[in-house]
Amino acid sequence: MAFVEQMRLVATECYRVLKPDHYCAILVGDTRRSKHYTTIAFRVMQAFLEAGFILKEDIIKAQWNTQAEGLWANLSRDKNFLLIMH
């Protein structure tokens, strides 16, 4: 995946320039491609770990009561796919 390969370069550069005992935070969401769940966040996290970072925390954010929540709930039933949740 081209995005993850580019993020691997970002991770390497961030690790190079970050001062010791400081932090790097990333926010990445997962997605679907052709009804299949694509774990972008996991792949990006793996790229940062391979660059030398040590995982401090993995925070899962769930959005509730958004304007599109009802739309996606209905589409998931109609199109036979599960909503992405952790």
Residue 83 forms part of a structural domain: no
pTM: 0.72
Residue 86 forms part of a structural domain: no
Structural domain count, the chain: 1
Alpha carbon of 48 to those of 39, 71, 85: distances in Å? Answer: 15, 34, 23
Q: How does pLDDT run across 28-80, given as a tens digit for each residue?
A: 888 877 877 788 889 999 999 999 999 998 877 766 666 666 767 777 778 77
Residue 22 forms part of a structural domain: yes
Residue 69 forms part of a structural domain: no
Residue 36 forms part of a structural domain: yes
- Residue 37, phi-psi category: left (phi > 0), alpha (psi -120 to 50), beta (remainder): beta
What domain range is 33 assigned to? 2-60
